[in-house]
C-alpha cells in the first residue's frame, strides 16, 4: 500500500482535523502529517466557521486526494476493512452512518457557542438555549447507541461514530458541560484513548493562538 499524507490544521482548535486524524489512526494506515499554520487565511476561515466548505483534513493516498471527513472515513473503511471502522451488522452500520452524518451536518449552535479549544478550561460557562438543544440531542444519540450496543463505545467497538463525536467530548470537557453518569463515563473512555492523549499532548505544545477563539467567557 502506498504512502499517505494527512493534511491538518491546528490540533488545539480544529475539530475536523481531529476527526480525520483519529479515523486514520484507528484504521491503522501509516501516514505522515502535514500541518497548515493557523496564520494561513484559509485555515483561519475554517477554524472560525467562515468557510463555505472544509478542505482540511485532506488525506492523500497513492497520489490521490480525499477531503471531507466522511469521505475519508468511507475510503479508509474500504482500504482497511479489517479495522472495523463501520459495524459489521447492516442496521448498526446504517445507524452509525446516520449519527455520523448528523454530527457532520448539524449542531451549528454547539459549534459556534462552544468552539474547540483543548488548552482552555471554562468551568463556569453558561450554555445558552440553542446550544443546550444540541447538547440534549447528542445525549439522546449517545444513550440510544450505548443502550443498543451495550458499549463501551457507541457501537460496541470503536467506530466512525466515536471519531465524529470525539471533538464533542473535548468541548464538553473544556466548558464543563454537566452530563449524566452514562455520558460522563463514555466521555472518560474517549479521553483516555491513547490516540486522544497523543493528540492532546501535541495540541498543548502548539505556540500559535487564534485570538478570536481565546475569548474570556
Domain 4-83 sits in which CATH superfamily? Glutaredoxin (3.40.30.10)
**C-alpha–C-alpha distance, residues 146 and 95, integer Å:** 12
**Model pLDDT for residues 114-169, shown as the tens digit of each residue:** 999 999 898 778 888 889 999 999 999 999 999 999 999 999 999 999 999 999 99
- Start-end of CATH 3.40.30.10 domains in the chain: 4-83
- Residue 124: count of CB within 10 angstroms of its CB: 7
- Among all chains, which residue has been given the C-alpha cell 450505548? 146
- Start-end of CATH 1.20.1050.10 domains in the chain: 90-199
Q: Quick check: helix, strand or coil at residue 37?
A: coil
Give the burial class of 31: count Cβ atoms within 10 A of its Cβ; 0-12 exposed, 13-18 middle, 19 or more buried. middle
pTM here is: 0.91
**Model pLDDT for residues 63-94, shown as the tens digit of each residue:** 999 999 999 999 999 999 999 999 999 999 99
Phi, psi of 35 (to 5 degrees): -100, 125
Do the Cβ atoms of 196 and 190 come closer than 8 Å?
yes
- Among all chains, which residue has been given the C-alpha cell 459495524? 87
Residue from 77, 59, 98, 57 nearest 158 by CA: 77
Q: For the residues 175-204, what does the mean pLDDT come to?
A: 97
Is residue 215 predicted with pLDDT exceeding 60?
no
CATH architecture of the domain 90-199 equals Up-down Bundle (1.20)
Least confident among 141-150, 171-180, 199-208:
199-208
Amino acid at each position: 500500500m502506498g504512502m499517505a499524507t494527512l493534511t491538518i490544521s491546528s490540533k488545539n482548535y480544529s475539530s475536523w482535523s481531529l476527526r480525520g486524524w483519529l479515523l486514520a489512526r484507528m484504521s491503522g494506515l501509516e501516514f505522515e502529517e502535514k500541518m497548515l499554520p493557523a496564520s494561513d487565511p484559509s485555515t483561519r476561515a475554517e477554524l472560525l466557521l467562515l468557510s463555505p466548505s472544509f478542505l482540511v483534513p485532506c488525506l492523500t493516498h497513492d497520489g490521490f486526494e480525499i477531503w471531507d471527513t466522511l469521505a475519508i472515513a468511507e475510503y479508509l473503511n474500504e482500504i482497511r476493512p479489517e479495522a472495523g471502522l463501520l459495524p459489521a451488522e447492516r442496521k448498526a452500520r446504517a445507524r452509525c452512518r446516520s449519527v455520523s452524518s448528523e454530527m457532520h451536518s448539524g449542531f451549528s449552535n454547539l459549534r459556534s457557542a462552544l468552539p474547540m479549544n483543548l488548552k482552555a478550561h471554562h468551568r463556569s460557562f453558561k450554555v445558552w438555549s440553542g446550544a443546550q438543544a444540541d447538547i440534549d440531542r447528542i445525549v439522546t444519540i449517545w444513550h440510544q447507541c450505548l443502550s443498543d450496543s451495550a458499549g463501551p463505545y457507541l457501537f460496541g467497538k470503536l467506530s466512525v461514530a466515536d471519531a465524529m463525536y470525539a471533538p464533542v467530548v473535548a468541548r464538553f470537557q473544556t466548558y464543563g458541560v454537566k452530563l449524566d453518569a452514562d455520558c460522563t463515563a463514555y466521555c472518560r473512555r474517549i479521553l483516555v484513548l491513547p490516540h486522544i492523549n497523543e493528540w492532546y499532548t501535541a495540541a498543548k505544545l502548539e505556540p500559535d493562538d487564534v485570538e478570536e477563539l481565546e475569548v474570556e467567557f
